Chains A and B, each alone.
Chain A
Amino acid sequence: MNVTQIDMTGYDKCIAALEKIKEHRMSTGPIVKGEELYYTLLIQLFREVRQAWDEGKPFFLYEMSIPNELFVGMGVPAMEYDMICGSMTTLLRAHEAVYGAALKIGVREEICSAQRTPIGILAKGWFPKPAGIVYTNLDQCDNCAQSANIMGQLYDVPTYFLNRPFRWWSERGVQMMVGEFEDAVAFLEERTGRKMDWNKLKEAIEISVEQVKIIREIHKLLMVKPCPVRARAASFAHWIKWSFAGRQEGLDYFRAFRDEVKALADKGLGAVPNERFRLMSLFTPPQNQMKMLDWLEHDKGVALVSEPYYFRVGPWDMDPSKPLESLSRQYYHESYYRFYSQMEEYLDMIVQDAKESGAQAALNWFNSKCRMGGAMSKIVKDTLADKVGIPTLTVDVDLLDPSPASEKRTKERIEGFLESLFTDNVAAA
């Protein structure tokens, strides 16, 4: 199933499309600095990889949760493939072609679109050939653990699999991950013919420490009344956090984002024109239907005041003098990854966030292809009801593939839920 021909037409179209979107956003109204930077950085990343490909220099593809700081330390461009391929598919409106290509080699529609998409993109030959692919089980995601096997075979490139333990927060777990990172560095060195610059890695971690501090500030600002953070911003921030960890540009983005949110909060202004509902948002809203978040804000007055996945980073700080150990421990403090691990830890996290934020209810954006999430949807609902006393609407969506859940249907369900919340509020008053 090797791909013999690389076709960069689509890749270049994505860069052009992103530039147009940015231009459009800037010309049609005031665009906040954070949003502008988001598009700028997205375009920059596409260009960095394109340039490396043109010049015959090595670059890497990596999976979510592989720390970008490693590639910064190595001085090589790298792209997180789950979300970037999702963006490509949306920008090219190529869902049918991409998922069709994945299906043709046996990757069926029940596989999470975040992994089906990169497989489909590579099966089409729409991505430049990397020097290697670095991936992981993300603690316990079967799709993440195996999709790159197929990708490596498609492009005939070596892969490195980083095994994450189930209980990574134990000392044994950390030590194991340190060993796995050491092997990852060896892999990168072997594939690039250059050595890890440990000073550069240390600097990258110092930047990440600052970035995390700002994310904690944003987490607190999210809970201010009225909420000064736009719902879309969380997804943007999440993507920048992954792709620009350890880079000055990433830190600049978060500073700009924090400053504009804080300015609103200081003035007592909310991001939602008429804030009526303060909700918790669980997991990831459908990335192909971001306009639904705008609809929630503008038409329904919904503010997402609790986004534990994106902003609830643990209290621990990385130690740049112990770079690999820090990267190992940081994984545990990244709230997003708790979803893929021990259920109890995850439930504690969302209960705390729900209590601190005072959210009236929760929207659980349930990725219907996700087995980790599926098996949790009832217990999440039960736990939030029992321990926080709030209702949860489980919304069946797909992260990237628009076909399984129509926007209309999703909106109808949310509308019904909001109506019942409103009725309850009136009754309580």
Chain B
Amino acid sequence: MEIKPVEAIEEAMRVNATFPYTDPSREWKEKGGKVVGYNCIFIPEELIHAAGMLPFRITGDNKELGLDNANVYLYTSTCSYIRSCFELALGGGFDFLDGYLSASACEGVQRLGEVWSAYLKVPMLMTLDVPRKINQRCKEFYRDDLATMKTKLEEQYGVKITDEKLWASIKLYDETRALFHELYEMRKAENPPIYGSEVMELLNAAVRMPREEYNPLLRRAIQGLKVSGRQLTGKTRVMVSSSVLNNAEFLRGVERLGALVVTDDVCTGARYFWEPASENMADDPLQVLANRALGTGFPCPRTNPPVHRTERILKMAEDWRVNGLIALTMRNCAPYVLDLPMWKSKLEEKGISVLDLDIEYGGTVTGPARIRIEAFVEMLSMQAVW
């Protein structure tokens, strides 16, 4: 059966094709707007947005890059995601940014900010202090650091971030989250209407263009899928897990091997939108943002205790009826490598196989990775037959 293209998804792909200086960012700048980069979801985009600026998520490219230049500064013990970001930055890829915000989220993110500050032109504004522990004390501490970040943005750019503006931004970003939940719900179907690789394109575009333009695009994508009559088939249903993944091409490769990628545990995927802010209502919008980021909905592998994350992965695998999970273990991503043993065996006890696949950021389904994924997909499809 022919799979019809959906116009809004193709539009998202066109945005991503112009990364890093995407067309919408260029247009934004040409209108006199400012763009502030960040590379971790613990930095609330809402705060940058409420300052009247475009939040832009720094990532590596949609392909595996040569990292010779970044290696000089960050050494090979830094994960390839962080080095890819810095490689692009060194080449001037992010020179269009007006500032950069870092966070103490993990070793890589923190050090990237510091090395950035020492060697690059784009100003590094501050490192947000992000606790690892999910408790009230840490949420309040985090909230206070968000207040510092707010002041920093106001002073740096001569703007005022009012509560009113912040609430409006929270509402706008919550709308995106709700739309993504709607999209992911559609993927629960026996024959979902969208490929995992297409979802990745939509997710990537979300953080590379103005949100006011993006939400209508995502809505059109969902609507387009609904009326498209698309019914995808595959040999097996797969969940993809990783610390960070932007490479839609990788998912395309997995899907070409016959798997249906129906959901994910990725910080550029479900973890990005899972927890709505509106469920964390408080009088103080900064506290709302802190509560959301340190929520128990779908935590990052770095957070403590690990139980919330384990429960979410198990539940997600069950709800999306996956047969197997591909864990993309990017070398030197310690938070993920040390988290995987916490839930891998639990998933396997439920009869869901896990493929622990070594792959670098931006890697594609070629060579040994292809052989292993192909064998995994075949094994899962045989299990389904049994």
Contact = CB atoms under 8 A, between A and B. Distances in A.
A168 to B, nearest CB: 9
Contacts of B138: 163, 176
A421 interface: no
B78 A371 contact: yes
A342 B137 contact: no
Nearest to B129: A166
Contacts of A342: 114, 127
B79 interface: yes
Given A107-B337, A161-B133, 4 more contacts: A107-B338, A142-B107, A176-B131, A371-B79
Interface residues of B, number: 47
A115 B338 CA distance: 10
B356 A166 contact: no
Nearest to A372: B107
B332 interface: yes
28 contacts: A105-B341, A108-B337, A111-B334, A143-B338, A145-B302, A146-B302, A146-B306, A146-B339, A149-B304, A149-B342, A153-B341, A161-B133, A161-B305, A163-B131, A163-B132, A165-B141, A167-B129, A342-B114, A343-B118, A369-B77, A370-B77, A371-B79, A371-B334, A374-B77, A375-B74, A375-B111, A377-B75, A379-B114
Interface of B: 72-79, 104, 106-108, 110-112, 114-115, 118, 127, 129-133, 137-138, 141, 144, 301-302, 304-306, 329, 331-332, 334-335, 337-342, 344-345, 356
Given A166-B127, A172-B144, A371 B304 contact: no
Interface residues of A, number: 47
A358 interface: no
A1 interface: yes
A379 B118 contact: yes
B337 A110 contact: yes
Contact of B132 (A137, A143, A172, A173): A137
Interface in A336-384: 342-344, 366, 368-379
A93 B117 CA distance: 43
B85 to A, nearest CB: 12
Contacts of A146: 301-302, 304, 306, 334-335, 338-339
Contacts of A369: 77
Contacts of A139: 104
Given A147-B338, A342-B114, A375-B78, A172 B141 contact: yes
Given A166-B129, A172-B141, A111 B75 contact: no
Contacts of B107: 140-142, 371-372, 375
Contacts of B332: 110, 371
Nearest to B140: A176
A179 interface: yes
B356 A106 contact: yes
Given A108-B337, A143-B334, A163-B131, A374 B104 contact: no
Interface in A14-53: none
A373 B111 CA distance: 9
A150 interface: yes
A249 interface: no
A176 B341 contact: no
Interface string A317-353: 0000000000000000000000000111000000000
Interface in A273-320: none
Contacts of A105: 341
Given A180-B137, A375-B115, A368 B110 contact: no
A165 B338 contact: no
B331 A176 contact: no
Given A374-B74, A379-B118, A1 B104 contact: no
A52 B144 CA distance: 43
Contacts of B118: 343, 379
Across the A-B interface, give the 9 residue pairs with the lowest CB-CB distance, nearest first: A374-B75, A375-B111, A374-B77, A166-B104, A142-B334, A146-B338, A163-B133, A371-B107, A106-B341
Nearest to B332: A110
Residue of B111, B112, B130 with highest tally of chain A CB at under 10 A: B111
A142 B77 contact: no
A371 B330 CA distance: 14
A150 B342 contact: yes
A372 B356 CA distance: 25
Contacts of A143: 334, 338
A213 to B, nearest CB: 32
A385 to B, nearest CB: 14
Contacts of B306: 146, 149
Contact of B338 (A1, A137, A142, A375): A142
